[in-house]
Structure 1
């Protein structure tokens, strides 16, 4: 007998009843009545010409033929559930974008803008990795990254996101900061630095300040840590404009006199050149590249 589509509800009812050995429990699972489950089972028995259950006062139990069909139906249902689960996971992964980026940029620039992305694309899920170590774009790794650098990396496609600018900032409570009127006087303050390729010597040269000795009293490996040190009054810091904006807006740091020096390196969105981007990752890149960068500096 060919398996017809009209038998599928009956098979589903039988599989549940066989698993529970109880029509009422099967009915509860399937949101049916016990009599509906019984009707489906009898329809299946009539089509097959065999009894699938022995009915007695204490309930029901499978016949030998019923056990044979129950084993096959249970295996088929398990296989289908496994496929459905894998399809659902695959669909979820298609809608998830794994991003590797910088902690400092994530905290001060990216996170404040993510609500806008979520409103535009509520189905896309983001995983943001801010590990200090340079992440590899291996199989199963990030879909894309935001990097600070020269704009070219082997094996990666790079899209210019925005430029970077450096200028000095300090806490308004830092002793002596109120008296600073020109860049040369900044060199007399205790200075905070990070491990960036451009630092105080580069900025003072751009500000036309020469022949001064610098006291870099504190040095941090992370730009955010350097800014926080300035917030706590440890000294003046050379800030990156995209990172320092929320500190200036909150008034915990103030910009000191002098030019904004365009950094040799900028920010880039990167992804493996050999892999095709999934649609959700392409959507996130397009959104990033369309953001206003506010590159206006006095």
Structure 2
């Protein structure tokens, strides 16, 4: 006997009643009345020609035939529920974009602009990873990365987003900062460094300051921490143009005398060369390339 679609409501009502051993509790779960559940069960019993429940004053109990059907119906409905959940998750994951980037860039450049993308793409879900370690673009890994470098990574497609430059910054409240009028004087101040491949020695060379002993008194692994240290008046930091913007606009930091030194490396959007981007990830990449010049 083929299972017809009109059997499904009755089977669902029976399965819930069998689990609860109570029509009223099954009705509450299914948002039905107890009489509606009872009607579905009686309809099923009539079609099958067997009794599924023994009815007594204190409730109901499954008959042997009812237990057999309850086991099968419970398994089938649980399997269907699992498939439906997985399909729902798959749909959500299709709309999710996983992005790996630097904490400093996320904090100062990406997040201030991100509402433009989310407002235009409310159905796209975003996951941002700002771990220091370079991400592996394997199965289940990020869709896109935003990295600082030379633009060439084996096995990765890269799109140039923006160049960078470096210049000295300090808190306007740092004692004696108002007396700094030339680059050479900066060498006498507490210098803050990060782990970037270009640093103070490169900048002083570009500023034509030679023969000075430089002491990088404070070193941070993350550029954001170096900027915050400078904003708190701990010392002078060598800022990245793209990272320093919000600190300069808010007045937490001010530029000091000296050149803006072009950085050797820029920022790039990257993803595996062998993998075609899913539509949601492509939308995010298109947005990145559109806003890179602002």
Query: Equivalent residue for 1:119?
Result: 119
TM-score norm. by structure 1 comes to: 0.91
Quote the offset at 1:75 in angstroms: 0.9
SS state at 1:2 partner: coil
Cα distance in 2 for residues equivalent to 1:53 and 1:225 = 69
TM-score norm. by structure 2 comes to: 0.92
Which deviations, in whole Å up to 9, do the C-alpha atoms of 1:35-75 show, x marking residues without a partner?
21122112112211222222222222222222211111111
Query: Equivalent residue for 1:65?
Result: 65
Quote the offset at 1:246 in angstroms: 1.4
Query: Equivalent residue for 1:39?
Result: 39
* Mapped contact 1:150–1:266 kept (Cα < 8 A): yes
Query: Equivalent residue for 2:225?
Result: 225
SS state at 2:204 partner: helix
Quote the offset at 1:148 in angstroms: 0.4
Query: Equivalent residue for 2:29?
Result: 29
User: Is the deviation greater in 81-90 or in 226-235?
Assistant: 226-235
Which blocks of at least 5 consecutive residues in structure 2 are unaligned?
none
Query: Equivalent residue for 2:270?
Result: 270
User: Is the deviation greater in 189-198 or in 259-268?
Assistant: 189-198
Cα distance in 2 for residues equivalent to 1:119 and 1:14 = 45
Cα distance in 1 for residues equivalent to 2:283 and 2:25 = 47
Alignment of 1:253-292 (within 5 A): 253-292=253-292
* Mapped contact 1:168–1:238 kept (Cα < 8 A): yes
Which deviations, in whole Å up to 9, do the C-alpha atoms of 1:224-277 show, x marking residues without a partner?
222222223233221101111111122121011222222110011111122232
Quote the offset at 1:288 in angstroms: 1.5
Cα distance in 1 for residues equivalent to 2:174 and 2:16 = 74
SS state at 1:153 partner: coil
2:96 is the alignment partner of 1:96: yes
Cα distance in 1 for residues equivalent to 2:250 and 2:188 = 26
Cα distance in 2 for residues equivalent to 1:63 and 1:196 = 75
Q: 1:76 to 1:192 in 2, by over 3 A?
A: same
Cα distance in 1 for residues equivalent to 2:82 and 2:7 = 22
Quote the offset at 1:104 in angstroms: 1.2
Quote the offset at 1:186 in angstroms: 2.9
Which deviations, in whole Å up to 9, do the C-alpha atoms of 1:188-221 show, x marking residues without a partner?
4332222222222322333344444434333333
Cα distance in 2 for residues equivalent to 1:217 and 1:21 = 74
Cα distance in 2 for residues equivalent to 1:60 and 1:194 = 73
2:180 is the alignment partner of 1:180: yes
* Mapped contact 1:193–1:199 kept (Cα < 8 A): yes
Query: Equivalent residue for 1:216?
Result: 216
Which deviations, in whole Å up to 9, do the C-alpha atoms of 1:138-196 show, x marking residues without a partner?
22222221110000111111111111111111111233321222333333433222222
SS state at 1:115 partner: helix
2:171 is the alignment partner of 1:171: yes
Which blocks of at least 5 consecutive residues in structure 1 are unaligned?
none
Matched length = 294
SS state at 1:98 partner: strand
2:113 is the alignment partner of 1:79: no
SS state at 1:233 partner: coil
Which deviations, in whole Å up to 9, do the C-alpha atoms of 1:68-107 show, x marking residues without a partner?
1111111110110111111112122222222211111112
* Mapped contact 1:176–1:189 kept (Cα < 8 A): no
Cα distance in 1 for residues equivalent to 2:258 and 2:282 = 39
Cα distance in 2 for residues equivalent to 1:27 and 1:230 = 65
